[in-house]
Structures are given as C-alpha cells and as structure tokens.
Amino acid sequence: MLIVMEANATAEQVAAVVRRIESVGFRGHPMPGATRTAIGITGNQGPVEAGVFEGLSGIAELVPISKPYKLVSLEVKLEKSVIHVGDAEIGGKELAVIAGPCAVESREQTFAIAEAVARGGARFFRGGAFKPRTSPYAFQGLGEEGLKILADVRDRFGLRIVTEAVDQESLELVERYGDVIQIGARNMQNFSLLKFAGQARKPVLLKRGMSATLEELLMAAEYILSEGNYNVILCERGVRTFAQHTRNTLDLSIVPAIQRLSHLPIIVDPSHGTGKRHKVLPMARASVAVGADGLIVEVHNHPERALSDGPQSLTLELYAQMMQEVAAIRGLVGPSKILHVA
C-alpha cells in the first residue's frame, strides 16, 4: 500500500500521515519526489484499511503495490534515486567510478594506488579491510588498521571510501571510518547483516549474490530500505554458470531490467564479473554502454604481487586507459534513465 500525497502537501501533512500509520502498528516511509511525496507502508500483513486515513488532509490517493517489493519499486518513486556521498554522487549525471585494490595490504601500497586512482579521475576508492575468503587460512584483511589507512586516503586525496563489512562489528567500524558500506555477494542474503545496514547512516553498496535472481536482489535491498536507510546502490558482479572461460558470467542485461522496476542506481563490477584482466576494459566499456550508473574496478600497482585477486586487477596504465574510454562512451550514452520501452 502506498499513499500518494498531493503536490502541495506540507511537511506537517506528511508527518501526520506517518504518525497515523505508526498508530496502527506499521511503519511509514516518506519518499519525496520532484512533484509529490509518496509514503510507503511496511509492517502490514495484507492491505491496510482505507478508513485508517480518514480525516487526514493532503492525501491524493491510496495505491496498492503489485510487486513483492515495495520501497525499492518504481511504484513508490518514479524518479531515479541519486545517492550523495560528500560532493560526489552515484546515480546522477556523472558516471561514478570506484577503483582501488582488492585488499588494503599496507599504507604504501594503498597510497600509491590511491594517487593513481585520483589522478585518473575516479571519485571513489575501494579496498577491503575485512575480506571474506573461501579459505580460513587465506589473508583476512588488516581490520581496523586497514580502515584507518583508508580514512587517511580520503583526507589526502579527497576520494570517498567504499569498503566491505562482513558482520555487525565490522559494519560499525566501516560506518565510522568509511563513506559507503559494501555488502558482498556472499552476504547478499545475510538478512541479519542487511538489517544492521538498514540502520546505518551511510549509503550501502549491495552486491548481487552469485546465483541471485533479480527479484532476490531487489528483496535484499528492500530489507535495507525497510529499516529506514534509503541510500542503496545495487551492483552486478557476475553470476555463476557452467562457462569456464570466465570466473563469473557478467549479466549486463540485468541493468536495463532493474531500470524498469526500481529507482535505485546500479553499477557494475567487471573485475569480479570476469576474473581476467584482459576482459576488464572491454566489459567496463560495455557496462557504461548498457547504461550502468557506475563501475567498481580493482586496480593494483603490482598485480603480480597482490595478496588477492591479482589476475583480475588492472595495472595503473590500464586503469588510466579505461577512464578515458568509459568517459567517451558515457558522453554518448548519457546518464542512466528509467526505462519505459514495452
């Protein structure tokens, strides 16, 4: 159920509706748009009685929601969400590029890469301090020490920090030191973690699970929004198939599919999506051409010595080349839009 307010409804009228929703035990989520505010309701089982809203002013109409997800849906908000991170943004006019190493390995390595990342024009820096690794015996990240290095990168280069949280404890640290909280593919349906992310005050980058359907991805995002955090960026990073020439199969066609259903921005990770350096540039170009709002790529000053994901990391030279190529394509394609083709 969705409550569409009149175009000239006041903040007080919106607040009154939210209070009424809460008075019957549910939660109201005001979603301001360019011409009107809509209020999503969560917590209800089945439809809400229209009578509940009697006597309130400023309401234009009550609209039933046809999809299993609500707050992420175009039904609730018909304009693209733009996620502001400091002076940078994701989902807006600019192509958002997040670049950096798989893992923060040391201050020297991180600063060397960050310098090149900033020079190349990306506004966001990636780098893991908490690494989910298949093996318990593999390098698990520097933890809080890594986060401090990342915070210093922000101070020094003005880059916004995107870094992964893997549980409640690391999420609190990432929220403190970083700018965007990344939830990795393996945790896309770690619903407990999603709820904590929904209570955080920083935007969340949510990566698609290895075999997640489009609907499962949107429902995972819905977990975050339903807790009150509306700043979610989706990320396609490849799915698991029989194909052996590639680490994962990058499913670029989910980008236009999402843009017909949701207002959330969506970016693409061609590094994990392919696992091979020679594919990263071509697939980065394709990602921008298909209409993605941004890219997240792995860059390393010495890929052959990287503690993780070396074979898929761009060298600094290839990164610089990529930035030029994708800027040119973005110039042609323009910012992403909500799709209305039948």
Tell which positions 280-309 bind its own copies, by CB under 8 A. Answer: 281-283, 285-291
CB of 146 to its own copies, least distance (A): 16
- Which member of 60, 78, 151, 210 binds its own copies (CB under 8 A)? 210
Q: Is 338 one of the binding residues for its own copies (CB under 8 A)?
A: no
CB of 261 to its own copies, least distance (A): 9
Tell which positions 48-77 bind its own copies, by CB under 8 A. Answer: 68-70
Q: Is 333 one of the binding residues for its own copies (CB under 8 A)?
A: yes
Tell which residue, 113, 127, 128, 121, has the closest CA to residue 96: 121
- Which member of 8, 34, 64, 332 binds its own copies (CB under 8 A)? 332
| Residue 151: burial class (beta carbons within 10 Å; 0-12, 13-18, 19+) | middle
Closer of 179 and 236 to its own copies (Cβ): 236
What are the distances in angstroms from CA 263 to CA 52, 74, 122? 28, 6, 24
Which structure tokens are listed for 199? 């209570």
Q: Is 168 one of the binding residues for its own copies (CB under 8 A)?
A: yes
- Which member of 25, 55, 64, 341 binds its own copies (CB under 8 A)? 341
Residue 12 has a CB neighbour count (10 Å cut-off) of 10
Q: Are 234 and 256 in contact (CB under 8 A)?
A: no
Q: How many residues bind its own copies (CB under 8 A)?
A: 77
Q: Are 313 and 298 in contact (CB under 8 A)?
A: yes
Q: Is 143 one of the binding residues for its own copies (CB under 8 A)?
A: no
- Which member of 11, 50, 63, 257 binds its own copies (CB under 8 A)? 257
How much helix, strand and coil, in percent to the nearest 5, is found in the chain?
40, 20, 40
117 three-state secondary structure: helix
- Which member of 62, 216, 307, 310 binds its own copies (CB under 8 A)? 216
Closer of 16 and 182 to its own copies (Cβ): 182
- Which member of 36, 107, 133, 154 binds its own copies (CB under 8 A)? 133
Name the segment binding its own copies (CB under 8 A); options: 28-36, 56-64, 148-156, 272-280.
272-280
Which structure tokens are listed for 158? 């003005």
Tell which positions 2-41 bind its own copies, by CB under 8 A. Answer: none
Name the segment binding its own copies (CB under 8 A); options: 49-57, 73-81, 106-114, 186-194.
186-194
- Which member of 254, 297, 306, 316 binds its own copies (CB under 8 A)? 254
Task: Write the DSSP assignment of 184-220 as a string of letters.
Answer: -GGGTT-HHHHHHHHH-SS-EEEEPPTT--HHHHHHH
Which structure tokens are listed for 153? 């990168």
Tell which positions 113-132 bind its own copies, by CB under 8 A. Answer: 132
Q: Are 206 and 224 in contact (CB under 8 A)?
A: yes
